[in-house]
Amino acid sequence: MVSGKHIRIERKLGERDYYCRDLISNNLVMTHVESPYLPGFREKGGYQEDEDRCHFLVRTREGYACVVYNTRPLSCREFKCCRMRVYQGEKNLIGTIKGRRSLSTMDPDLEKLWNDRIRLLGIEEDGQWDMKVKKILEDSGYIVELYIS
């Protein structure tokens, strides 16, 4: 079984435990579905093969979360993606928030909103900042996907 392009399930040990092959490093890693995510993982049918995205990534109320975060493979630990994606409409990706708090966009309206209301927010704690930014963006009509660890 393949999870996205870089993780292959070598063996399922139960509904929560999997031996995974990290196809980048070729390491074998035992992953464990964490308790808070087990109901959502069960709801989506447990592990399902998918070559486009990792099936250990599940949607939560806050955004997305890795259900095996504490036992994820090294290539996942080292991967730097984005913390948030901003859409105009269902499928039109217009911006990403990467690193600590950097916006990448070509959309002038999103850039203006960022500069006027988000860039200078005085919130130090990342989780609180993420939720405040998500609310500002959604209140302004954007669709936001938040990736939490």
Sheet strands (E) in 13-142: 17-22, 28-32, 57-59, 64-66, 84-88, 92-98, 102-105
Given a contact cutoff of 8 angstroms between Cβ atoms, the answer to whether 63 and 147 are in contact is yes
Q: What is the pLDDT of residues 79-113, one digit of tens each?
A: 667 888 899 987 799 999 987 788 999 999 999 99
Calpha distance 27→29 (Å, rounded) = 6
Structure tokens at 50: 């998918």
| Tokens 């859409």 sit on residue | 87
CA distances from residue 12 to 29, 33, 67, 112 in whole angstroms, order as listed: 12, 12, 15, 48
| Helices (H), ranges, the chain | 38-43, 74-78, 108-113, 126-139
Per-residue confidence band for 137, with pLDDT thresholds at 50, 70 and 90: very high
Helix (H) or strand (E) holding 12: strand 7-12
Q: What is the pLDDT of residues 48-90, one digit of tens each?
A: 665 566 778 887 877 778 889 899 888 787 766 788 889 998 7
pTM: 0.54
% of residues, the chain, pLDDT over 70: 87
Per-residue burial over 52-85, b = 16 or more CB atoms within 10 Å of its CB, e = otherwise: eebbbbbeeeebebbbbbebbbeebeeeeebbbb
Please give the residue that has the higher pLDDT: either 132 or 54: 132
pLDDT of residue 46: 67
Domain map (residue ranges) of the chain: 2-78, 84-148
Given a contact cutoff of 8 angstroms between Cβ atoms, the answer to whether 86 and 69 are in contact is no
